[in-house]
């Protein structure tokens, strides 16, 4: 039964991606993907909560979440290529990806190596469904009205040897263009005394366009991990220079 479902889904993917397919069929697949995306987000998230309460092995919960994120990409017909992993060691790092789409989160969760926490706005933790999921996965609540407290919360990861993923734009770009970077990610990397690893998400904006939460288009995306930048010896006063350097490197990679 499972094999039959997977076969039908692969056929659906190949049809939706064919250049000869009518636009109506492509729209149908995109809407179906949107339903799958939200259904898996909730169901797999709740399973992770149950697993987290039953198991003392938090790494097991994280491995489950990462595997489900990769399965979600395949089910939605999103083909992922990742480059630059050879630049990474054991970590931890502060990863600073650009942000084009909600689908960026599933991509980074599934394909960036290691145990990584996302910095998430504190309002999400008040959601009756998403709140328990975020807490189970160890995501970090960020209060944008209290930057000092946010940096302190993120700096606590240093003792856990966990990496953190922070979108320095603070929100998704509507047209794919790189937005101005905020300072928090760079102040955090300096405070944690860990390298800062720029990450570039390419071609993700058309996958899940901003303003269309129930549309997920099949397609090919690329994740590029750029060489990490050491923060040893830097002070809080260096955060602007570090921010500008990272944005310059991400912008250059996006133009390739």
Give the DSSP per-residue string, 43-108: HHHHHHHHHHHH-S-HHHHHHHHHHHHHHHHHHTTEEEEEE-GGG--S---EEEE----THHHHHH
Q: How far apart are CA 51 and CA 53, in angstroms?
A: 5
Alpha helices by DSSP H, the chain: 2-17, 23-54, 58-75, 103-111, 130-136, 147-155, 184-192, 239-254
State residue 83's pLDDT score: 96
Residue 146 belongs to domain with CATH number: 3.40.1130
Q: How far apart are CA 57 and CA 34, in angstroms?
A: 32
Domain that holds residue 197: 2-254
State residue 212's pLDDT score: 83
State residue 5's pLDDT score: 39
State residue 133's pLDDT score: 83
Tokens of 255: 């133009």
| Count of domains forming the chain | 1
**pLDDT tens for each residue of the chain, 256 residues long:** 334 434 444 544 554 444 444 455 578 888 888 888 888 888 888 888 888 888 777 778 888 889 999 999 999 999 999 999 999 988 789 999 999 988 999 999 999 998 888 888 878 888 887 888 888 888 888 777 776 766 676 666 666 677 899 999 988 877 778 999 998 889 889 988 899 999 999 999 999 987 787 889 999 999 999 999 999 999 989 999 999 999 999 999 999 8
Q: How far apart are CA 121 and CA 118, in angstroms?
A: 10
Q: How far apart are CA 170 and CA 179, in angstroms?
A: 9
State residue 11's pLDDT score: 46
């Amino acid at each position: 039964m499972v094999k039959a479902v997977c076969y039908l889904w692969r056929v659906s993917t190949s049809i939706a991606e064919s250049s000869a397919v009518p636009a109506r069929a492509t729209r149908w697949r995109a809407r179906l993907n949107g339903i799958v995306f939200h259904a898996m987000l909730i169901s797999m998230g709740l399973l992770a909560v149950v697993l987290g309460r039953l198991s003392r092995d938090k790494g097991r919960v994280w491995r489950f979440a990462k595997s489900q994120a990769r399965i979600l990409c395949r089910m939605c017909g999103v083909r992922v290529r990742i480059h630059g992993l050879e630049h990474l060691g054991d970590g931890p790092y502060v990863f600073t990806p650009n942000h084009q789409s909600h689908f960026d989160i599933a991509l980074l969760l599934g394909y960036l190596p290691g145990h990584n926490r996302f910095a998430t706005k504190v309002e999400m933790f008040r959601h009756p469904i998403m709140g328990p999921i975020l807490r189970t996965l160890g995501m970090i609540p960020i209060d944008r009205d209290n930057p000092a407290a946010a940096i302190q919360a993120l700096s606590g990861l240093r003792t856990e040897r966990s990496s953190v993923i922070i979108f320095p734009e603070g929100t998704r770009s509507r047209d794919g263009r790189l937005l101005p970077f905020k300072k928090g990610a760079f102040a955090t990397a300096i405070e944690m005394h860990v390298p800062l690893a720029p990450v570039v998400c390419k071609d993700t904006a058309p996958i899940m366009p901003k303003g269309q939460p129930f549309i997920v288009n099949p397609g090919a995306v690329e994740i590029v991990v750029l060489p990490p930048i050491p923060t040893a010896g830097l002070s809080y006063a260096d955060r602007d220079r570090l921010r500008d350097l990272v944005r310059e490197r991400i912008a250059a990679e996006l133009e390739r």
